[in-house]
Structure 1
Amino acid sequence: MDKELKTPPPYPIASVDHALRAATILQMEGDATVAQLAERLGVARSTAHRILAMLVYRDFAVRGEDRVYRAGPVLELAAHSQSLVSRLRATALPHLHRVVDLVGETTNLIVRTGDTVRFIASVECRQALRVGSREGMVFPAHRTTAGLLLLAELDEEELEKAYAPERYRDRPSDRPDLARLRAELRRLRRNGFAVNRERSERGLVAVGVPVRDEDGTALAGLSVSMPSVRYDPHQLQPLVKSLEGAAHALERDFLHQS
């Protein structure tokens, strides 16, 4: 997956984008009403209703007697409202908003699946020049701040499995150099944070820290993204401290709600 693929298409089809985002929400987070989907997608309720009706027609969603929509049979994951991702996202949102208020940059929560990561929550800052929401997007793990942090949690066997050559038979150029990746992951383990300078997207810098469970296992990555012209390396340590404080607060809240 090349980073250029994340550039918006020249002729975007908003209705398709809304439908795909709605399906992702139902699959990863569980039940939702028309009003909730309308708010998440930023569309009118009538528009959300039409999107959901088409998802139901194509078996991507089902509508219960309570008028609540759920993931349909086409979606592989049996998502439900108490899934790990759903609970993690719900717990994290207030903390993401506080980070945005504190540092003035777009903040994200990211989880890993195999060699990719998905942005499960994104809160935009209010600055005119800003990084937009990446919620629902999927990127190669080794090209993102949070992805590198989560890859650093893997042992040698797990890393080899995630990047097995046979998985890249049709796209060999996408497979990272594992020797270089291992060296980078060792540095990240020592530092406890990661910095991504235009690795996933041009003109973007991201800084991230891990979010851990009670056993110390990294569940997700918490990151801030900003235009590269606004990144100041001299402010890196205060920024990392702010992120670590938010991550620890999120960990405590998630533990108490589990």
Structure 2
Amino acid sequence: MDKPLKTPPPYPIASVDHALRAATILQLEGSASVSQIAERLGVARSTAHRILAMLVYRDFAVQGEDRDYRAGPVLELASHSQSQVSRLRAAALPHLHRIVDLLDETANLTVRTGDTVRFIASVECGQALRVGSREGMVFPAHRTTAGLLLLAELSDTELDEVYAAERYGERAADRPDLDRLRAELGRLRSNGFAVNRGRSERGLAAVGVPVRDRDGTALAGLSVSLPSVRYDPHRLRSLVATLEAAARALERDFAEEGS
């Protein structure tokens, strides 16, 4: 039975969450100062310093001669400043902020690797009831808005390779029904956008569109996430139009930055 996977813990530990988010920032962005980490986490500079000191102790971070912190050896997938993911994230942030300004809902940028997706950027809205930052989080691709959009780009043969039964072994229950998935992806190709209501997390709705490179290949998914109680199907056309405008602007900026 297909069921939502991610459920926030009933008793979240703020210090652990702060440390994990700090590590994610270093992994995705390459480096950051104490002040930058403090601002991003919304904590005092002294608190940010203690968090970073513990990350250094556990080899999740290292401190350079310039006093900035960078991803340590434990974070093997740390992005270098000129990597495509890092450049894409940097180009996307102003557009994510613009989406939040226009819609007052949380905006995200997501990339796919195999059968999973990773949120590489997330900007929260200011509403009291809101979807929190998903930056750095990993989800099964077929359970997320952006993941479905990116899977829709694959041929039947490529989809079979991504979800080959032998890849799952004891995790066979995690493998989606490919006939149902193909039918859904076919509808998404026609629509050009995706809607997710409670599929990845209970009480959450999301709408997304693809972000493409110069040759038309989908690089990422751009989405807005909101509490299900605030999702209104009558707003769908407006949400999609806002996201598509942001995606086209991001595509132009990313192409210019890489030229």
* TM-score tier after normalising by the smaller chain length: over 0.9
Partner in structure 1 of residue 74 of structure 2: 74
Corresponding letter in the other structure for 2:102: L
The answer on whether the counterparts of 1:29 and 1:85 sit within 8 Å (CA) in structure 2 is: no
CA contact (8 A) 1:31 1:80 kept: no
Question: 1:251 aligns to what?
Answer: 251
Pair 1:109–1:206, CA change in 2 (3 A): same
Stretches of structure 2 that go unaligned for 5 or more consecutive residues are: none
Kindly indicate whether the alpha-carbon contact (under 8 Å) linking 1:197 and 1:228 is maintained by their aligned counterparts in 2. Answer: yes
Q: CA RMSD in A?
A: 1.7
Structure 1 stretches of 4+ with a deviation exceeding 6 A read none
Secondary structure at 1:221's aligned position in 2? strand
Q: Quick check: 12-21 or 182-191, which moved more?
A: 12-21
Q: Who is 1:197 aligned against? A: 197
Structure 2 letter corresponding to 1:70: R
2:127 maps to amino acid:
Q
In 2, the alpha carbon distance for the partners of 1:255 and 1:59 equals: 35
Gaps of 5+ in 1: none
Moved more, 238-247 or 85-94: 85-94
Shift of 1:156: 2.3
| Separation of aligned partners in 2, 1:208 and 1:103 | 13
SS in 2 for 1:171: helix
Give 2:217's aligned amino acid.
Answer: T
Partner residue in 2 for 1:186 = 186
Moved more, 76-85 or 240-249: 76-85
Tell me by how many angstroms 1:48 deviates. 1.6
Match of 2:60 in 1: 60
* 1:35 corresponding residue in structure 2: 35
Distance 1:91 1:183 in 2: 33
Query: Aligned pair 1:14/2:14, yes or no?
Result: yes
Question: Shift in Å at residue 179 of structure 1?
Answer: 1.0
Partner of 1:150: 150
Q: Deviations over 1:129-187 (max 9, x none)?
A: 32222222211110110010011112223222221223322222111001111111111
Amino acid at match of 1:64: G
- Aligned twin of 2:167: 167
The normalised TM-score by structure 2 is 0.92
Q: Residue 221 of structure 1 corresponds to which residue in structure 2? A: 221
AA in 2 matched with 1:35: S
Q: Is the 8 A contact 2:34 2:49 kept in 1?
A: yes
Q: Distance in 2 between matches of 1:17 and 1:130?
A: 17
Cα pair 1:211 1:248 within 8 Å, conserved: yes
Q: CA deviation at 1:230?
A: 2.2
| In structure 2, distance between residues paired with 1:125 and 1:37 | 19
**Where does residue 235 of structure 2 map in the other structure?**
235
Amino acid at match of 1:146: A
Query: Which segment drifts farther, 7-16 or 44-53?
Result: 7-16
CA contact (8 A) 1:109 1:119 kept: yes
Check whether the contact 1:29–1:83 (CA below 8 A) recurs between aligned residues. Answer: no
Give the secondary structure class of the aligned counterpart of 1:210. strand
Deviation per residue, 1:212-257 (Å, 9 max, x gap)? 1111111111111122222222221222111101100011111111
Structure 2 residue matching 1:170: 3-state secondary structure: helix
Aligned to 2:212: 212
**Aligned equivalents of 2:101 and 2:58: distance in 1?**
41
Q: Which deviates more, 216-225 or 78-87?
A: 78-87
Shift, 1:3, TM fit: 5.8
SS of 1:6's partner is coil
Structure 1 residue matching 2:31: 3-state secondary structure: coil
Q: How many residues in Structure 1 have an aligned counterpart in Structure 2?
A: 257
Task: Find the residue that maps to 2:250 and give its secondary structure.
Answer: helix
How many angstroms apart in 1 are the aligned matches of 2:119 and 2:61?
Answer: 21
